[in-house]
Copies of this chain bind each other. A is one copy, B any other.
Amino acid sequence: IPGTALANADVAKLIKDPKNWAMQAGNFENQRYSNLNQINKSNVKNMKVAWTFSTGVLRGHEGGPLVIGDTLFVHSPFPNKVFAIDLETQKIKWKYEPKQDPSVIPVMCCDTVNRGLAYAEGKVFLQQADTTLVALDAKTGKKLWDVKNGDPKVGGTNTNAPHIFKDKVITGISGGEFGIRGYVAAYDINTGKQVWKGYSTGPDAEMLMDPEKTMTWTNGKMAPVGKDSSLKTWQGDQWKIGGGTTWGWYSYDPQENLMYYGSGNPSTWNPSQRPGDNKWSMTLWARDVDTGKARWVYQMTPHDEWDFDGINEVILADVDVKGKKRKVAVHFDRNGFAYTMDRVSGELLVAEKYDPKVNWATHVDMNTGRPQVVAKYSTRQNGEDVNTKGVCPAALGTKDQQPAAFSPKNGLFYVPTNHVCMDYEPFRVEYTAGQPYVGATLSMFPAPGSHGGMGNFITWDAGKGKIVQSKPEKFSVWSGALVTAGGIACYGTLEGYLKCVDADDINKELFKFKTPSGIIGNVNTWEHKGKQYIGVLSGIGGWAGIGLAAGLEKPTDGLGAVGGYAELANYTELGGVMTVFALP
């Protein structure tokens, strides 16, 4: 099929040239690593703002721009504008502004964010909040096709970036807080025709699971999942409104032709209402890109009791594990454990806490692969209408959507983390289509007995399962990291600083600049006319910034984040600006 070859070849070629930033994560492996080194650890201190661009939209700005040749493509939160900007003149080549029904806004759980665009073969792909997936002509901004991927009326929305693997644009769905049944769907990049769709829960066929061939970690080895592996773990039809959404970052291994991602929390947040393991929510998935068939799965948090939504990205790397170089898939889960899996076979290699404050489980049993839950912190055991206090991490996890980076130079992962704990009180809730289906009251606070802040930027050894260094931050680091061949790692803070640190000693802060608003975007880099640039979107919001973004004031509002992050108001205001840096 020529399409396959072309799209793959095109994207692979663009990625290979570090002048571009051709995917949201920089490469298929989700590494957010750049080979550029003009800006490096000795000169980054001289970095200055080169230019700035306001998107004309406020609230949370996640994701980052794509750079293809001399054009930068950047998106905004709802209403999801798209701009093509000439890198030479900063003129707006074209702008695309979809007309979306604003009734989608209240159906978005965690701000009106959008994690950015995808590019392939002269097309720009936008995944709108209202679930419309759009292909635009990259030269003109004209719409080539669009397709409806879900239904906001029943609580389905989109915040994830579309991902281009082979000749497919792959997207997920949000709505775990509205009882949406999660799935990943692949569309033909040329026509928008759906090629396959794999659910997270339900009958095997609808999950694109083969009971005999789809494998999972079982008593210390890989074994087939068996028949009705999901259905058996739900009471009655609950899987139909059971969550397992798919709003994160996906990665791709071209050799295995596998894509990797995590599925989200089971709905509701009140565990007493949904007995069972609730498979395959909270699961890492490896699917064949052509067919969607699941090769392996691994459930991190069976029967979730804390909203430890498992969507965090899977980073592919080749890493030493117990003295052996392994092709691994590394995943920093919301539940506070970092997992190193063999990405080909799905074997569980390492599962360790990446924040020492994690207390809801003592450890992961490496035989069963199950976390060993501490009774005191079990919101299920404590039961409905009981406030379980002091659970670490909070529902937004030791890490949420903010993606980590990996440096093949030193084999380290750079992980923006939360250092937040919570009280969690589940309560009974009725399902009504299109209405919140949450069933828990939360409050959040900085991890007690620590540095007082709500975040750390850490380096992680995924072979050993150990924190290498940890740099405290006042607030959660809700921005995605970048690491480069220049030996620097950069990330944004919720106060609004872009920071770059020495990649080999992250406590050495080499650069700091106050952007217009809090940063929840992902840092990236490109080169234009011989000059390296670093860019980042600022614009406070997302779950951590929902108080400011949506103007909420009650501490337990915003699913418990408003109180925890109240102090943010002393540092920043809503915004929506891309700031571009370079050496003078």
A residues with CB within 8 A of B: 46, 48-49, 51-58, 81, 83, 90-92, 95, 513-517, 538-539, 548, 569-577, 579, 584
A569 / chain B contacts, CB cutoff of 8 Å: 92, 95
Query: CA A572 – CA B90 in complex, angstroms?
Result: 9
Chain A to chain B contacts (Cβ below 8 Å), 5 pairs: A51-B513, A52-B516, A56-B517, A83-B573, A91-B570
Q: Are A516 and B54 in contact, with the CB atoms below 8 A?
A: yes
Instruction: Please name all residues of chain B whose beta carbon is closer than 8 Å to the beta carbon of A51 when the two chains form the complex.
Output: 513-514
- Chain B residue with minimal CB distance to A578? B516
B-side contacts of A572, CB under 8 Å: 54, 92
Known: A584-B48, A584-B584. A53 touches B516 (CB 8 A): yes
Q: A584 to chain B: which residues have CB within 8 Å?
A: 46, 48, 584
- In the assembled complex, the Cα of A51 lies from the Cα of B51 at a distance in Å of 13
Q: How many copies does the complex hold?
A: 2
Q: With a CB–CB cut-off of 8 A, which chain B residues contact A46? A: 584
- Cα A572 to Cα B53 in complex, Å, equals 8
Q: How far is the CB of A402 from chain B (nearest CB, A)?
A: 20
Q: Kindly list chain B residues whose C-beta atoms are within 8 Å of the C-beta of A516.
A: 52-54, 516, 577
A404 to B391, CA, bound (A): 60
- Residue in chain B with minimal CB distance to A539: B54
Partner of A54, one of B49, B92, B95, B575: B575
Contact B52 A514 (CB under 8 A): yes
* Residues of B contacting A577 in the complex (Cβ-Cβ under 8 angstroms): 52, 54, 516, 575, 577
Once the chains bind, are B56 and A575 in contact (CB under 8 Å)?
Answer: yes
Chain B residues with CB under 8 Å of A513's CB are 49, 51
In angstroms, how far is the closest chain B Cβ from the Cβ of A490? 17
Q: Which of B55, B514, B573, B579 contacts A55 (CB 8 A)?
A: B573
Residues of B within 8 Å of A574, CB to CB, are 54, 56-57
Which of B49, B52, B90, B514 contacts A48, CB < 8 Å?
Answer: B49
Set of chain B residues within 8 Å of A517, measured between Cβ atoms: 54, 56
**Cβ-defined contact, B571 with A54, below 8 A:** no
A56-B58, A92-B570, A92-B573 given; name 20 further pairs at CB < 8 Å: A48-B48, A48-B49, A52-B514, A52-B516, A53-B516, A54-B517, A54-B539, A54-B573, A54-B575, A55-B573, A56-B573, A56-B574, A56-B575, A58-B58, A91-B570, A92-B569, A92-B571, A516-B516, A575-B577, A577-B577
